[in-house]
Amino acid sequence: MAFNHYAKLKRILADEPDGWYIRRIDQPTTAKNFRGEVVQYDYYYRLYAANGTMIKYGKFQKIDALAQILDMPVESLPVVD
């Protein structure tokens, strides 16, 4: 079974108290896809706890993939500027 980072984020957020949020970071980053290819992104997202601390393993690139695994629309995710 392949590793799924978004499934891990779902488990992390299930244990996280209410108030967590997402921040978009406009800096280039890379990630390896399921085929082992390295993909370049111009930005990434980071999860934060309600108290403002970064959530461990909370860096990701595809907000639509997170929304899908959380079974919610992208528009309802708590993204802050």
| Domain chopping of the chain, boundaries | 5-80
When pLDDT is averaged across residues 31-41 and rounded to a whole number, the result is: 89
pLDDT at 56: 95
- Cβ contact 49:16 at 8 Å: yes
pLDDT classification of 3: cutoffs 50, 70, 90? low
Q: Calculate the average pLDDT of the chain.
A: 93
| Torsion of the alpha carbons at 48, 50, 52 and 53, rounded to the nearest 10 | -60
pLDDT at 53: 97
**In whole angstroms, what separates CA 7 from the centre of its chain?**
10
pTM higher than the cut 0.85: yes
